[in-house]
């Protein structure tokens, strides 16, 4: 089936979502219910020729058990099925853990099972087709910004460009400690396959079962990720006794005890880590959460800064990382300055991509991609030069009318020169001040206030010419982001003042050295 075919599958599945939305189901609820039903259907298909494998699903809860019921009996059976499978181990438990039936109308549930899922032979679809169909649903779900689903979805054009310059290789291990719906892991898997069409049997097995590792904090999102990988042929098939490539956990809690060759990630937006608790008056309060790990350079409740430290700790020696970070990671003082100084000294921080606004579903976010390699202890700092590509200044993208496309990153990928970074050449010069690719030495960075890496040099045309202002939705998004930052800062100050009398709570987690 062609890409046209996958679009048809997406459209067919999505059209029915509009029926269920009339009953109050959100996009996220709908995709989650499809996840459960698709898994059950594919597990049943694998028991038929030509596969003829034993089913991982107990007979009482297998796909035929849904087909032979109707009305309230179907709804009741489906509810008990979800509860029972959520107690299983491995891939079953991961996909069905804490699962609930959100389709309350038995007639609509019956139509979903019999008319929508059952007629399609999912196992005979090419992995790309069924995987792309599911990715299409996840992207549509991400567009439902009211539900907040977009925070788990990184633009695929950006992901592909990041993976292309990182060039993961057969036999390497790739991790994403904030994997969302699995975009980076999928792109790394697809890149390795495309760049190496003649993989040996052992290499294929490693790529399917050992190469990829993702951790996601939110259970409902990790189940979407597991299903996304499964539909792309990654991880254990239904019934295989192999550890799933995804786990539901707080990555920052402690060092996992393992390291990886490559880390590709976009940690969640928002600066503050916190925990909720009920006070003596029975009211819910949030308190700053500081991770005390002896493999961290600084203790802070800024989760973005903690992710940078965590990523460095889970890299193998000479391992390489590409991480999306908001602007505050580049300029924040205190712990931020301490972490930047250590990162520049202990790692080779070689590239920074300044991202445009309007490309994330969280509007107004100002973010960057930081590329660095972990290095062994040395007397001299490892960072010699930081190459910066500015894709932000005078660039305006939106989520609908002018979306970020892969070709918008062509110049960056070409100038990055992953095959030989020593061959890089600036496009900026005094004669060409509009060049977007410029290099700064370690000494120049160290001389900046708070060792700020928030470097820009291009003239912003919108400031010089009021006729050339960004689209109103871009301006509105930036204003909204500034307001959110201001409110968050006020909340932090209020929380710190409140806790000064009772002392700040911390989450003490003894960390591994991460060597």
- Give the CATH number of the domain where residue 295 resides: 3.40.50.150
Say whether pLDDT at 198 is over 90.
Answer: yes
With pLDDT > 70 as the criterion, what percentage of the chain qualifies?
Answer: 81
DSSP string, 382-450: S--EEEEEE-STT----SSSS---GGGGHHHHHHH-TT-GGG---S--SS-TT-SEEEEEHHHHHTSGG
**Mean pLDDT lowest among 317-321, 371-375, 397-401, 430-434:** 397-401
Write the pLDDT tens digit of every residue in 78-104: 999 999 999 988 778 888 988 999 998
Q: Same domain, yes or no, for 132 and 165?
A: no
- Give the CATH number of the domain where residue 78 resides: 1.20.1260.30
Q: What is the pLDDT of residue 515?
A: 38
Q: State how far the Cα of 494 lies from the Cα of 484, in Å rounded to an integer.
A: 15
Determine the average pLDDT of the residues in 233-237.
Answer: 81
SS3 label, residue 161:
helix
Q: State how far the Cα of 238 lies from the Cα of 57, in Å rounded to an integer.
A: 9
Q: Is the pTM of this model over 0.85?
A: no
User: Structural domain tally of the chain?
Assistant: 2
User: Given pLDDT bands bounded at 50, 70 and 90, which one contains residue 187?
Assistant: very high
Highest mean predicted confidence (pLDDT) among 136-145, 287-296, 483-492, 499-508: 287-296
Q: Same domain, yes or no, for 215 and 273?
A: yes
Determine the average pLDDT of the residues in 228-254.
Answer: 83
21-30 long-range CB contacts below 8 Å, 24 or more apart? 23/103, 23/104, 23/105, 23/108, 25/102, 25/103, 26/144, 26/147, 27/140, 27/141, 27/144, 27/147, 27/149, 28/141, 28/144, 28/147, 28/149, 28/220, 29/102, 30/102, 30/141
Residue 315 Cα distances to 251, 443, 476, angstroms: 14, 26, 38
Q: Which two tokens stand for residue 71?
A: 């009305």
Determine the average pLDDT of the residues in 353-360.
Answer: 91
Write the pLDDT tens digit of every residue in 423-455: 999 999 999 999 999 999 999 999 999 999 999
Mean pLDDT of the chain: 84
Say whether pLDDT at 235 is over 80.
Answer: yes
Determine the average pLDDT of the residues in 255-276.
Answer: 80
Q: State how far the Cα of 226 lies from the Cα of 220, in Å rounded to an integer.
A: 10
Q: Same domain, yes or no, for 129 and 154?
A: no
Say whether pLDDT at 466 is over 80.
Answer: no
Q: State how far the Cα of 311 lies from the Cα of 261, in Å rounded to an integer.
A: 11
User: Given pLDDT bands bounded at 50, 70 and 90, which one contains residue 498?
Assistant: low
Write the pLDDT tens digit of every residue in 405-424: 999 999 999 999 999 999 99
Bond into 50 cis (ω within 30):
yes
User: Given pLDDT bands bounded at 50, 70 and 90, which one contains residue 512?
Assistant: very low
Say whether pLDDT at 200 is over 90.
Answer: yes
Q: Among 113, 136, 122, which residue's Cα sits nearest to residue 37?
A: 113
Q: Same domain, yes or no, for 164 and 133?
A: no
SS3 label, residue 350:
strand
Domain boundary among 92, 117, 139: 139
Q: State how far the Cα of 409 lies from the Cα of 162, in Å rounded to an integer.
A: 9
Q: Same domain, yes or no, for 173 and 224?
A: yes
Q: Same domain, yes or no, for 322 and 357?
A: yes
Residue 6 near residue 129, CB atoms below 8 Å: yes
Give the domain extent around 76.
3-139
Higher pLDDT: 242 or 352? It is 352
Write the pLDDT tens digit of every residue in 16-30: 777 777 777 887 888
Q: Same domain, yes or no, for 168 and 97?
A: no
Beta strands in 295-404 (DSSP E): 315-326, 347-354, 367-374, 385-390
Domain assignment of residue 514, yes or no: no
Interaxial angle between packed helices 219-231 and 127-142, expressed in degrees from 0 to 180 and rounded to the nearest 10? 150
Q: Among 118, 124, 12, 32, which residue's Cα sits nearest to residue 68?
A: 118
Say whether pLDDT at 166 is over 60.
Answer: yes
Q: Among 406, 414, 418, which residue's Cα sits nearest to residue 187?
A: 406
Highest mean predicted confidence (pLDDT) among 179-183, 237-241, 315-319, 396-400: 315-319
Q: At a CB cut-off of 8 Å and minimum separation 6, what does 101 contact?
A: 33, 75, 78, 79, 82, 109
Q: Same domain, yes or no, for 125 and 172?
A: no
Q: Same domain, yes or no, for 197 and 135?
A: no
With pLDDT > 90 as the criterion, what percentage of the chain qualifies?
Answer: 55
Write the pLDDT tens digit of every residue in 9-63: 777 777 777 777 777 788 788 888 988 998 899 889 989 998 888 888 899 999 9
Q: Same domain, yes or no, for 89 and 192?
A: no
Say whether pLDDT at 5 is over 80.
Answer: no
Q: What is the pLDDT of residue 203?
A: 97
Domain boundary among 473, 492, 507: 473
Residue with tokens 């719906």: 181
Q: Same domain, yes or no, for 290 and 338?
A: yes
H or E element in which residue 507 lies: strand 507-508
Q: Which two tokens stand for residue 439?
A: 């290099």
Residue 46 near residue 55, CB atoms below 8 Å: yes
Residue 193 backbone phi and psi in degrees, to 5: -65, -45
Say whether pLDDT at 270 is over 80.
Answer: no
Q: What is the pLDDT of residue 1?
A: 45
Residue 392, burial from CB neighbour count under 10 angstroms (0-12, 13-18, 19+): buried
Q: Which two tokens stand for residue 222?
A: 């990790």
Q: Same domain, yes or no, for 337 and 458?
A: yes
């Amino acid at each position: 089936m062609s890409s046209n075919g996958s679009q048809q599958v997406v459209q067919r599945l999505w059209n029915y979502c509009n029926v269920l939305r009339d009953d109050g189901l959100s996009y996220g609820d709908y995709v989650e219910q499809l996840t459960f039903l698709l898994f059950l259907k594919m597990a049943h298909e694998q028991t038929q020729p030509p596969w003829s494998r034993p089913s991982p699903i107990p007979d009482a809860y297998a796909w035929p058990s849904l087909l032979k019921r109707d009305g309230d009996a179907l709804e009741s059976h489906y509810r008990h099925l979800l509860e029972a499978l959520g107690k299983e181990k491995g891939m079953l438990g991961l996909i069905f853990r804490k699962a609930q039936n959100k389709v309350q109308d038995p007639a609509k549930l019956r139509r979903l099972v019999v008319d929508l899922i059952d007629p399609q032979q999912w196992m005979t679809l090419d992995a790309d087709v069924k995987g792309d169909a599911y990715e299409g649903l996840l992207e549509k779900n991400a567009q439902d910004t009211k539900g907040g689903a977009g925070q788990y979805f990184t633009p695929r054009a950006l992901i592909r460009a990041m993976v292309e310059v990182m060039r993961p290789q057969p036999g390497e291990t790739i991790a994403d400690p904030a994997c969302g719906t699995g975009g980076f892991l999928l792109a790394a898997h697809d890149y390795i396959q495309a760049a190496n069409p003649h993989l040996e049997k052992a290499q294929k097995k490693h790529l399917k079962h050992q190469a990829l590792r993702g951790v996601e904090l939110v259970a409902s999102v990790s189940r979407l990720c597991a299903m996304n990988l499964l539909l792309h042929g990654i991880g254990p098939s239904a019934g295989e006794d192999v550890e799933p490539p995804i786990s539901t956990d707080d990555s920052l809690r402690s060092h996992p005890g393992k390291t990886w060759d490559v880390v590709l990630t976009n940690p969640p937006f928002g600066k503050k880590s916190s925990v909720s608790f009920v006070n003596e008056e029975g009211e819910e309060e949030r308190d700053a959460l500081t991770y005390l790990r002896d493999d961290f350079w600084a203790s802070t409740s800024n989760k973005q800064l903690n992710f940078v430290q965590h990523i460095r700790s889970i890299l193998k020696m000479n391992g390489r990382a590409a991480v999306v970070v908001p602007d505050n990671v580049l300029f924040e003082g205190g712990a931020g300055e301490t972490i930047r100084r250590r990162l520049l000294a202990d790692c080779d921080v070689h590239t920074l991509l300044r991202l445009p606004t309007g490309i994330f579903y969280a509007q107004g976010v100002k973010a960057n991609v930081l590329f660095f390699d972990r290095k062994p202890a040395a007397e001299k700092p490892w960072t010699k030069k930081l190459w910066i590509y500015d894709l932000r200044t005078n660039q305006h993208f939106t989520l609908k009318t002018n979306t970020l496309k892969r070709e918008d990153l062509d110049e960056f990928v070409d100038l990055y020169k992953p095959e030989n970074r020593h061959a890089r050449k600036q496009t900026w010069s005094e004669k060409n001040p509009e060049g977007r690719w410029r290099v700064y030495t370690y000494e120049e960075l160290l001389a900046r206030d708070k060792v700020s890496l928030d470097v820009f040099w291009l003239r912003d045309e919108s400031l010089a010419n009021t006729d050339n202002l960004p689209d109103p939705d871009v301006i509105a998004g930036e204003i909204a982001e500034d307001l959110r930052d201001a409110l968050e800062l006020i909340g932090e100050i209020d929380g710190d003042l409140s806790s000064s009398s009772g002392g700040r709570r911390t989450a003490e987690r003894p960390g591994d050295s991460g060597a």
